[in-house]
Amino acid sequence: MELSGRLDALLTLAEGVGIEVRPEPMGGGGGGLCRVRNHRILFVDTAADLATRYDRTLAAMAGQPELEDHFLPPEVRDDLERQRRSSAV
């Protein structure tokens, strides 16, 4: 699966679990998940290249426990597991 498809799958899942996805130009290196009054918002930096957008989204979504209950393409699930392992170190 291509990187753009992986990113789309993550963003679709984020919306599916109640996370608002907001594409915003943030200078190319930003993006991430924040909480405002118990409302989760995932900012996706539209100024960043595809790989950076995917890495930032992956890092933000890796900590969300409810993902286990939803379908993800195997490649994306593997990427999430690698992200979780690298964050635990």
Strand partners, 41: 20, 34
Q: Tens-digit pLDDT profile for the chain (89 aa)? A: 899 999 999 999 999 999 999 999 999 888 899 999 999 999 999 999 999 999 999 999 998 888 888 889 999 999 999 998 887 66
Q: Tell me the CATH number at 41.
A: 3.30.2010
The predicted structure's pLDDT at residue 89: 63
The predicted structure's pLDDT at residue 83: 92
Q: Which domain holds residue 51?
A: 3-88
Per DSSP, 47 falls in state T
Reduce the DSSP state of residue 9 to 3 states and report it: helix
Nearest to 19 by CA among 43, 45, 40: 40
The predicted structure's pLDDT at residue 69: 86
Q: How many domains does the chain have?
A: 1
